[in-house]
Amino acid sequence: MDVTSYLIHRGANLDCVDLYNNSVAHFAVAYGWNHLLKYIVELKGDINKPNMHQLTPLRIGLIKGHMQCVDYLLSLDSIENSFKTEKDGNIITQILVEGNYDQSTLSKLYFLFNSGKFKNSPLINEPDSKGMTPIHYACSNSQTNLILVNHLPAHTWSSIIEICENYGKEVLSSLTKNVHLSSSDYPNDIDVLVMLIENGADVNSKTNEMTPIQLAIKKNAWHVVKLMLKAGASIVFEKGNTILHYLLPAIVNSGGNFIDIFETLVEHKEYNQVLSMYNDNGMNALLELGQLISFKLRDLGAPLTEILDNLK
């Protein structure tokens, strides 16, 4: 570092690059040389120029985890233009796209949001080339917290019929007490999402006609679904489908305790609306549930007419 500083002092070109278009600023951040980085800034070196992979010094700092350099760069007014690229989304998206939500991810997001430049910034809802915003990546990369159950006891299946008449806590408790819930806990998923929501992420933004809560449902990440419900995510989806079109079949097909999901759901402002909604196929959630149950119970010799009668 001392040699580099000496060469710059002797008149070396601050903005010279290597074969990969990495500048002196890229190398300073890559090795965590904050003193050299400040020297480059003092001499008006370019700290926004991307390399051949479209990575700016700021992005390199985030990738390498040199948060002292990142913190310094974020304090500069001249860093504004390096927050996004046309190819792969903005800097918030880049942190979340790989889905490894560990303490390092939380630290990086904390630095960004507490720099003041990202508080309620439009960047938090800016889509990348795939139409994905940061909250879409956070939900689609959430960890599945349910163990799929291939065979449930016959008496458990028969109790599902009661859902057609009662969404109560007792029925759901009876339904789920014989299935398995993963003991794994994923607090980082929730921490990331809370941070995004608190800083202005749109819980109802769409990518390919899917909202963040739908992506979480697709992953069976029900801890995330519960959070999104509390954050006010809409439960009316595309083509007339609702959360119940997905949630009730999930009870049949997977293990886990869904009582807390329903307790949150019944407080939702759209809950009464979705109870009677039909999708574009002319099916409401209960009819689709009954159809699914009929296939599940067929080999058990259950009276299908009884199921259908309850669904009318």
Split the chain (312 residues) into runs of 10 and give each run's mean pLDDT.
Answer: 63 78 93 91 88 88 86 79 57 79 82 75 85 91 55 42 41 40 54 91 91 91 90 92 83 64 86 86 76 56 44 43
pLDDT of res. 147: 37
Give the model's pLDDT for residue 193: 92
Q: In degrees rounded to 5, what are phi and psi of residue 89?
A: 85, 175
Every domain of the chain and the residues it spans: 1-82
Six-digit token string for 96 = 């979340």
pLDDT at 265: 86
Q: What is the pLDDT of residue 8?
A: 66
The amino acid at 64: K
Of 281, 127, 264, the C-alpha closest to 205 is 127
According to the model, what pLDDT value does residue 6 have?
A: 63
Four-CA torsion 59, 62, 68, 73, nearest 10 degrees: 20
End-to-end C-alpha distance for the chain, whole angstroms: 77
Q: Which helix (H) or strand (E) holds 260?
A: helix 259-265
Q: How far is CA 45 from CA 16, 36, 308, in A?
A: 10, 11, 74
Asked if residues 104 and 65 have their Cβ atoms less than 8 Å apart, the reply is yes
CATH 1.25.40.20 for domain 1-82, yes or no, is yes
The tokens describing 240, both together, are 């007339």
Decide: 117 and 74 in contact? Cβ < 8 Å. Answer: yes
